[in-house]
Amino acid sequence: MQRLRAGLGQLRTALLDLQGLVLSTRNDAIGIGRSFGTDASCGGLFADMDVGTTSALAGAQDFDNRAAVAQRGQATKRVVARGGDTWETLSTRAYGAPDKADTLRQANGVRYAPHQL
């Protein structure tokens, strides 16, 4: 699992490098040849590339979040949040005490969260 997460980190780094390359290439293309036709066609191409790399980054992050949860272990009990719940009320339902709120939050892959859900 650690190797998988390390590979995902390398993938994210490569995608960020690709985004930087696309941005610099777009700026170079704008400076080299300006016409309405080239601006429109290049703009669409660069926009598609930007959307694609951003989607891939989001997918890699989601996959890494799921891998992190799996690496910490499977949940032994499922608790569904309701309106007005806090991490403490969920902890009380899941573990029988509010002092496990941080454990519950981390088990769900949440780094920072408001007090009330």
- Residue 89 confidence class, pLDDT cut points 50, 70, 90: very high
Same domain, 20 and 57: yes
Give mean pLDDT, residues 16-37.
Answer: 73
Query: Which residue in 92, 65, 66, 70 sits closest to 79, CA to CA?
Result: 92
Count the domains in the chain: 2
Q: Is the pLDDT of residue 103 over 70?
A: yes
Same domain, 15 and 63: yes
Q: What is the mean pLDDT of residues 71-94?
A: 81
pLDDT at 28 exceeding the cut of 80:
no
48 with 64, same domain: the answer is yes
Expressed as residue numbers, the domain containing 115 is 75-117
Specify whether the CB–CB gap between 18 and 46 falls below 8 A. no
